[in-house]
Amino acid sequence: MFPETVLHSRRLLLRAFDAGDITDTLASCSDSLTQRWLPLPRPYTLDDATAWCTTTAHAMRDSGDGIQFAVTDADSKRLVGQVGLKKTDWRALVSEVGYWVSPWARGRGIAVEATRTLAHWLLTDQRFQRMELRAAAENAASQEVAIKAGFHREGTLRNAGFVHGARVDLVLFSLLPGDLGSSTDPTEHR
Ligand SMILES: CC(C)(COP(=O)(O)OP(=O)(O)OC[C@H]1O[C@@H](n2cnc3c(N)ncnc32)[C@H](O)[C@@H]1OP(=O)(O)O)[C@@H](O)C(=O)NCCC(=O)NCCS
């Protein structure tokens, strides 16, 4: 399993979810854009947010599936999103990133900065060899995040995903250690 970890970038602090995140997680995961693209419970309830913050996110690390981070503003400490790894293949050293950004924090490069920060940790500290990202073919914002974070577009996985019962094509992106560049600053691309 991944070690419990706190990560920093220029504007962000990435840490484990806790009970103090429940209200902001409820607001973020009930939001229509988050609901549009992620297969979350609908409606997303207080019980769902409580389970995620106190149990589910932690269980994903304990099981070896991945690790989930609450993305917070380093100054205000407020939750601004989620970034995490899932479907980790420990033999191949491949893991898949996923994220959402809270409605009050969108359009400021938070998703790119959080993804780059996690990628640096995974591909350098953790010595993984590949980070994958899958975005629905119509989710233009998420594909823009992938490109701005330095991922390479590899192709379309036809009919590979589902969002609330509807089948969707997924676009597959990857990031390798050699794609990170020589900078040690995860936000150097901005
Ligand atoms: C996708 C998402 C995480 C992006 O978060 P964000 O922090 O606002 O993204 P960023 O600010 O880093 O923006 C990245 C780029 O995408 C662009 N973008 C945003 N919405 C866009 C859209 N609808 N179409 C095209 N580009 C878009 C932004 O303009 C930005 O480019 P810029 O820096 O040149 O302006 C956010 O919209 C979200 O939470 N969506 C719902 C959940 C989701 O889709 N998760 C991903 C599932 S694969």
Instruction: Write out pLDDT tens, residues 44-102.
Output: 999 999 999 999 999 999 999 999 999 999 999 999 999 999 999 999 999 999 999 99
| pLDDT surpassing 90 at residue 163 | no
What domain count does the chain have?
1
Q: Does residue 183 carry a pLDDT above 60? A: no
Span from the CA of 2 to the centroid of ligand 1 (angstroms): 27
If you measure from the C-alpha of residue 129 to the centroid of ligand 1, how many angstroms do you get, rounded to a whole number?
A: 26
Q: What number of residues does the chain have?
A: 190
- Ligand 1 atom with the smallest distance to the CA of 136 is 48
Across the range 123-139, mean pLDDT stands at 98
Q: What is the mean pLDDT of residues 3-18?
A: 97
Domain of residue 19, CATH code: 3.40.630.30
Closest CA to 152 of 130, 169, 127: 130
Question: Is a pLDDT exceeding 90 seen at residue 190?
Answer: no
Q: Which parts of 96-139 fold into alpha helices (H)?
A: 110-120
Domain containing 80 equals: 7-179
Distance CA 88, CA 7 (A): 19
Q: Regarding beta strands 94-101 and 130-136, do their DSSP bridges make them parallel or antiparallel, or are they unpaired?
A: parallel
Q: How confident is the model at residue 187 (pLDDT cuts 50, 70, 90)?
A: low
Pocket test for ligand 1, best of 35, 112, 145, 168 (most atoms within 8 A of CB): 145
Token code pair at residue 70: 């609450």
Ligand 1 residue neighbourhood (C-beta within 6 Å): 33-34, 37-38, 99-101, 106-112, 135, 139-142, 144-145, 148
